[in-house]
């Protein structure tokens, strides 16, 4: 029998329709649910009344769908605890999978294989709002995945995601199970865009895509909340920018409240017309029905698109980072991506003082100020002698995740701190940084975390001999790191950002007179030799030791030349960067001579 993925490549896949509506229509009694205390717990029906669940599956299989979903939407221990059933999570998932698999086998033929998707709902908790810890949530999903997989599902469907951090927890749990069991099934991850046009917590669909796309999932999509019409623009965003196949499973319209019941008004023809349009014109390749859809809806859908080959899509994939709210490309026009430097215990006295007083709201205010000043992202460093960095990062990032609109750059060298941080951020973060100072050890610890949590990574051109001074050395280290990060760990090159680092030109030290030139040439060489990677600089390093006015001038002029050399991203104090025309001629020229080691200015000063 063909695998789900091989069929998925060849033809449009049609999922089943609503489970809840169908079960309701069967007129089940409290006894069917296993007693008054379990009345309404659909997930328990796999034990108390498996026939009702079989009825749902059979009707959809008869309607001709390719995939049925297990009756396990709420079968994580997190949800089941409401019925005192948390200890039976594994069993309920196992049974749900066994029932669906048996039904699918009954209907499967070599010409029309039927598959079972393990349904994994969003639970009732939002980790971004602190309802539950990431690790606990991941563990619950891992248990659900184990039950579903051991019960025989063909793929997993993480659906109806409202908080991207919840989907990340689900994927972490699932991929941990894959790793431990040395197994791998296809995975679909599907988010829910509310009528207001974002996910429940305010996430734009493009931001959700950026956060979830780095995971090793096979299909990405949207389901629930609205009908297909309201989804159109979001579907367009996904099909235009997702390298992965797109899944769309709308409700039969926006639910209307009629006499205290949810009523869904789209007819099978209406639902099918929209979905056919998505398939033919936008290149959606996996479709199905969510709330309010019936076997009649699915039958129409199968008649319209079943067996068709998926359309080719022109995908404009833009490597990006994201916050819980928005996506920001790793390359902007005009360059560079500005990363706020001030939320750093070593980079700002104000931040250090706020941290010492544990004034978290004050720290949030600094993060928001970075956004107001024009930063595209914000660098966060809580490494402060005598304090617990992991603890401080937790306090800060838990708040930044929901209260700061910008993607987060995690500035830490400690793997445990980085992992904690990654478990708090719903967006796609950037980890700052790795290097080869102690050989490959740090890379071996940090890069797997970046992969596991879908982050990009900044690599410094430092090796066992220290920080590279000459451009060619910077390139040589970059190549070595590239081979590890992209070659060994299989991260994508666009998620690797090289920082060619600079020593200060403010020390007057003879040894470092060429520091600026080498850094600029390093950027040029890396962009030329490794064209897919991004480049970054902590620009303010160039001017340590000078007075603040001189620093602003030198930083701004240096940034100008770095951009000319191909710089993509810069850690800066955004409001202190001046366009060249705003710097007086003399200051500009002095800075230029300092950067390019033209000793004229000494004569001039003499």
Q: How far is the CB of 423 from ligand THG (least distance, A)?
A: 22
Bridge partners of 13? 286
Q: Which is closer to ligand THG, CB of 460 or CB of 484?
A: 460
Per CB under 6 A, which region of 50-58, 92-100, 195-203, 343-351 contacts ligand THG?
Answer: 343-351
Q: How far is the CB of 324 from ligand THG (least distance, A)?
A: 23
Query: Exposed, middle or buried: residue 403 (CB in 10 Å: 0-12, 13-18, 19+)?
Result: middle
Please, which contacts does 149-152 make with residues 24 or more away whose CB atoms are closer than 8 Å?
Answer: 149/97, 149/118, 149/177, 149/181, 149/183, 149/185, 150/94, 150/97, 151/70, 151/93, 151/94, 151/95, 151/96, 151/97, 151/98, 151/101, 151/118, 152/97, 152/98, 152/101, 152/116
**How many residues line the site for ligand THG (CB under 6 A)?**
18
Q: Does 540 bind ligand THG (CB under 6 A)?
A: yes
Task: Enumerate residues 379-418 that contact ligand THG by CB under 6 A.
Answer: 379, 411
Q: Does 556 bind ligand THG (CB under 6 A)?
A: no
CB-based closest residue to ligand THG: 538
Classify residue 539 by its DSSP letter. G
Kindly tell me which residue out of 347, 427, 506, 522 binds ligand THG, with binding defined by CB under 6 A: 347
- Give the pair of three-digit tokens for residue 90: 């594994």
Q: Which is closer to ligand THG, CB of 458 or CB of 565?
A: 458
Q: Helix, strand, or coil here: 426?
A: coil
Per CB under 6 A, which region of 155-163, 345-353, 370-378, 503-511 contacts ligand THG?
Answer: 345-353
Q: Does 350 bind ligand THG (CB under 6 A)?
A: yes
Q: Which is closer to ligand THG, CB of 193 or CB of 381?
A: 381
Per CB under 6 A, which region of 42-50, 164-172, 396-404, 536-544 contacts ligand THG?
Answer: 536-544
Binding marks (x or -) toward ligand THG, 498..517, rule CB under 6 A? -x-x----------------
Per CB under 6 A, which region of 71-79, 224-232, 320-328, 340-348 contacts ligand THG?
Answer: 340-348
Q: Which is closer to ligand THG, CB of 341 or CB of 419?
A: 341
540 closest CA partner among 568, 515, 573? 573
Kindly tell me which residue out of 36, 349, 581, 585 binds ligand THG, with binding defined by CB under 6 A: 349
Contact 217, 187 (CB under 8 A): yes
Instruction: Give, to the nearest 10 degrees, the angle between helix 548-564 and helix 585-595.
Output: 70
Residues 151-183 as b or e (16 or more Cβ within 10 Å = b)? bbbbbbbbbbbbbbbbbbbbbbbbbbbbeeeee
Q: Does 213 bind ligand THG (CB under 6 A)?
A: no
Q: Which is closer to ligand THG, CB of 94 or CB of 497?
A: 497
Q: Which is closer to ligand THG, CB of 171 or CB of 554?
A: 554
List Cβ neighbours of 575 (8 Å cut-off, separation of 6 or more). Answer: 373, 374
Q: Which is closer to ligand THG, CB of 206 or CB of 344?
A: 344
List Cβ neighbours of 353 (8 Å cut-off, separation of 6 or more). Answer: none
**Could you check whether the bond before residue 42 is cis, i.e. omega within 30 degrees of 0?**
no
Q: What number of other Cβ atoms are within 10 A of residue 49's Cβ?
A: 19
- What helix, strand, coil percent values describe the chain, rounded to 5? 50, 15, 35
Q: Which is closer to ligand THG, CB of 3 or CB of 575?
A: 575
Kindly tell me which residue out of 14, 458, 484, 485 binds ligand THG, with binding defined by CB under 6 A: 458
Per CB under 6 A, which region of 81-89, 326-334, 344-352, 366-374 contacts ligand THG?
Answer: 344-352
Q: Does 568 bind ligand THG (CB under 6 A)?
A: no
Q: Which is closer to ligand THG, CB of 3 or CB of 348?
A: 348
Q: Does 239 bind ligand THG (CB under 6 A)?
A: no
Q: How far is the CB of 537 from ligand THG (least distance, A)?
A: 6
Binding marks (x or -) toward ligand THG, 115..154, rule CB under 6 A? ----------------------------------------
Bridge partners of 246? 220
Q: How far is the CB of 409 from ligand THG (least distance, A)?
A: 8
Q: Which is closer to ligand THG, CB of 242 or CB of 500?
A: 500
Provide the strand spans (E) within 192-276: 219-223, 246-249, 256-258, 261-263
Query: Exposed, middle or buried: residue 135 (CB in 10 Å: 0-12, 13-18, 19+)?
Result: middle
Distance from C-alpha of 153 to C-alpha of 415, rounded to nearest angstrom: 35
Binding marks (x or -) toward ligand THG, 425..444, rule CB under 6 A? -------xx-----------
Distance from C-alpha of 195 to C-alpha of 439, rounded to nearest angstrom: 51
For residue 445, the surrounding DSSP H or E stretch is: helix 441-453
Per CB under 6 A, which region of 84-92, 275-283, 342-350, 368-376 contacts ligand THG?
Answer: 342-350
Q: How far is the CB of 342 from ligand THG (least distance, A)?
A: 6
Kindly tell me which residue out of 163, 213, 341, 389 binds ligand THG, with binding defined by CB under 6 A: 341
Q: What number of other Cβ atoms are within 10 A of residue 79's Cβ?
A: 22
Distance from C-alpha of 238 to C-alpha of 244, rounded to nearest angstrom: 9
Q: Which residues bind ligand THG (CB under 6 A)?
A: 341, 344, 347-350, 379, 411, 432-433, 458, 460, 499, 501, 538, 540-541, 571
């Amino acid at each position: 029998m063909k695998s789900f993925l091989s069929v998925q490549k060849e033809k449009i896949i049609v999922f089943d329709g609503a489970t809840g509506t169908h079960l309701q229509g069967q007129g089940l009694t409290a006894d069917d649910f296993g007693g008054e205390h379990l009345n309404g717990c659909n997930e328990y029906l796999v034990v108390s009344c498996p026939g009702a669940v079989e009825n749902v599956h059979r009707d959809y299989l008869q309607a001709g769908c390719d995939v049925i979903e297990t009756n396990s939407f709420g079968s994580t221990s997190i949800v089941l605890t409401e019925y005192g059933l948390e200890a039976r999570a594994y069993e309920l998932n196992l049974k749900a999978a066994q029932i669906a698999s048996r039904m699918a086998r009954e209907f499967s033929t070599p010409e029309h294989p039927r598959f079972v998707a393990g349904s994994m709902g969003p639970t009732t908790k939002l980790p971004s709002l602190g309802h539950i810890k990431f690790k606990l949530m991941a563990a619950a999903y891992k248990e659900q995945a184990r039950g579903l997989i051991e019960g025989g599902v063909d793929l997993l469907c993480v659906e109806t995601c409202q908080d991207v951090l919840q989907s990340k927890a689900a994927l972490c749990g699932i991929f941990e199970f894959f790793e431990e069991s040395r197994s791998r099934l296809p995975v679909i991850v599907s988010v829910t865009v509310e009528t207001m046009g974002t996910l429940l917590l305010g996430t734009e669909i493009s931001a959700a895509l950026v956060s979830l796309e780095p995971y090793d999932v096979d299909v990405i999509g949207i389901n629930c909340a609205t009908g297909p019409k309201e989804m159109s623009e979001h579907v367009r965003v996904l099909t235009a920018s997702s390298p992965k196949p797109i899944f769309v499973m709308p409700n039969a319209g926006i639910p209307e409240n009629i006499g205290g019941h949810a009523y869904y008004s789209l007819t099978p023809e209406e639902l099918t017309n929209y979905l056919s349009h998505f398939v033919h014109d936008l290149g959606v390749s996996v479709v199905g029905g969510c709330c309010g859809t019936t076997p009649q809806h699915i039958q129409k859908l199968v008649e319209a698109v079943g067996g068709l080959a998926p359309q080719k899509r022109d995908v404009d994939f833009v490597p990006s980072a994201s916050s819980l709210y928005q996506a920001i490309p790793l390359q902007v026009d005009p360059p560079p991506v500005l990363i706020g430097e001030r939320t750093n215990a070593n980079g700002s006295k104000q931040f250090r003082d706020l941290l010492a007083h544990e004034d978290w709201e004050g720290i949030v205010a600094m993060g928001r100020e970075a956004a107001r000043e024009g930063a595209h992202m914000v660098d966060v460093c809580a490494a402060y002698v005598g304090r617990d960095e992991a603890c401080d990062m937790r306090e800060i990032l838990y708040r930044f995740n929901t209260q700061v609109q910008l993607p987060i750059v995690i500035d830490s060298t400690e793997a445990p701190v980085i992992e904690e941080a990654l478990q708090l951020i719903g967006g796609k973060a950037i980890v700052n940084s790795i290097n080869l100072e102690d050989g490959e050890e740090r890379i071996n610890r940090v890069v797997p975390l970046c992969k596991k949590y879908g982050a990009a990574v900044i690599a410094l051109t430092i090796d066992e001999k220290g920080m590279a001074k000459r451009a060619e050395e910077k390139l040589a280290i970059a190549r070595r790191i590239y081979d590890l990060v992209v070659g060994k760990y299989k991260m994508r090159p666009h998620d690797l950002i090289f920082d060619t680092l600079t020593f200060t030109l403010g020390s007057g030290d003879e040894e470092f007179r060429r520091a600026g030139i080498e850094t600029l040439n390093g950027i040029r060489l890396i962009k030329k030799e490794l064209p897919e990677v991004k480049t970054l600089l902590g620009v303010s390093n160039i001017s340590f030791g000078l007075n603040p006015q001189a620093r602003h001038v030198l930083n701004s002029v240096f940034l100008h030349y770095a951009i000319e050399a191909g710089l993509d991203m810069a850690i800066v104090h955004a409001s202190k960067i001046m366009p060249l025309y705003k710097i007086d001629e003399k200051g500009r020229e002095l800075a230029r001579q300092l950067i390019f080691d033209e000793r004229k200015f000494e004569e001039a000063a003499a």
